[in-house]
């Protein structure tokens, strides 16, 4: 299996604050890889560094499909095939569900047939969005907004989907629906890089995982091995 994303010895700073201290990780074709860790560990910074949203890389390299991408503008990274669903959803509250979804396809000029096919796929994954396609995004529940954020990212037709805390602030029954959809998305061939504080649901769909503390990767293993690791169980899964 070849790697679609490779990060090597990445250092990142916010001004004088060092957020990442030489992390290295990879995502293979068809994989779900999860980043685990507490608040402020560096998980979100890793995703924003990949997508180029914040300029703070001081050392190291990020390669996507073999091409170095650190230093590229965010829209150019998106055009290469990386979709980033941000923490907090960031939907357009005044736009309808349909308009939000079509915003995800803004780079796909002239691909009307592909856009229509992907829209049908999103509605298949999230039937609630079809039912609410004419509603303003701001009137949706938190869980429905998260579905919309994932759907909008899928409308980019990405080669890698990155998700930051998709379960945050959402009722458990809706979390199950969203992660069932994420599992299906991966089964259909799309690799995922997942930041998630709910270790149980993350490790349930992941193939591998990395644990980050204070900007450093302290552990990496298969999802099953991490789920059975006593340190992970005590620190992140609430088990004694």
pLDDT of the residue at 218: 95
pTM over 0.85: yes
The yes-or-no verdict on residue 238 having pLDDT over 80 is no
**Residue predicted with more confidence, 237 or 62:** 62
Report d(CA 10, CA 59) in Å as an integer. Answer: 6
Name the percent of the chain lying above pLDDT 90. Answer: 84
pLDDT in tens, 72-99: 999 999 999 999 999 877 899 999 999 9
Give the residue carrying structure tokens 């998630």. Answer: 196
The domain in which residue 45 lies consists of: 3-236
SS (H, E, C) 132-175: CCCCEHHHCCHHHHHHHHHHHHHCCCCCEEEEECCCCCCCHHHH
pLDDT of the residue at 149: 95
User: The domain spanning residue 75 has which CATH number?
Assistant: 3.40.50.300
Number of domains making up the chain: 1
pLDDT grade for 19, boundaries at 50, 70 and 90? very high
pLDDT of the residue at 39: 86
Report the mean per-residue pLDDT for the chain: 93
pLDDT in tens, 187-197: 999 999 999 88
pLDDT grade for 239, boundaries at 50, 70 and 90? low
Report d(CA 225, CA 221) in Å as an integer. Answer: 6
The yes-or-no verdict on residue 134 having pLDDT over 90 is yes
Report d(CA 45, CA 64) in Å as an integer. Answer: 17
pLDDT of the residue at 132: 96
The yes-or-no verdict on residue 240 having pLDDT over 60 is no
pLDDT of the residue at 237: 67
pLDDT of the residue at 61: 97
pLDDT of the residue at 110: 86
pLDDT in tens, 175-223: 999 999 999 999 999 999 999 888 999 999 999 999 999 999 999 999 9
């Amino acid at each position: 299996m070849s790697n679609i994303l490779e990060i090597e010895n990445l250092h990142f700073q916010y001004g004088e604050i060092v957020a990442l201290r030489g992390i290295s990780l990879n995502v293979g074709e068809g994989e779900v890889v999860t980043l685990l860790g507490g608040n402020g560990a560096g998980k979100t910074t890793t995703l924003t560094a990949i997508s180029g949203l914040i300029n703070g890389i001081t050392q190291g390299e990020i390669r996507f499909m073999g091409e170095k991408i650190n230093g590229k503008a965010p829209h150019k990274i998106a055009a290469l095939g990386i979709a980033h669903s941000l923490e907090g959803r960031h939907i357009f509250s005044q736009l309808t569900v349909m308009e939000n979804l079509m915003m995800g396809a803004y780079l796909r000029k002239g691909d009307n047939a592909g856009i229509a096919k992907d829209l049908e796929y999103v509605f298949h994954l999230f039937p609630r969005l079809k039912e609410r396609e004419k509603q303003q995004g701001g009137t949706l529940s938190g869980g429905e907004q998260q579905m919309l954020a994932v759907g909008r990212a899928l409308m980019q037709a990405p080669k890698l989907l990155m998700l930051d805390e998709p379960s945050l602030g959402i009722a458990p029954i809706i979390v199950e629906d969203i992660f069932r959809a994420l599992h299906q998305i991966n089964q259909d061939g799309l690799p995922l890089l997942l930041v998630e504080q709910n270790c149980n649901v993350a490790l349930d769909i992941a193939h591998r995982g990395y644990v980050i503390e204070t900007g450093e990767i302290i552990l990496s293993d298969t999802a099953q091995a991490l789920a059975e690791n006593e340190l992970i169980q005590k620190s992140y899964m609430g088990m004694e």
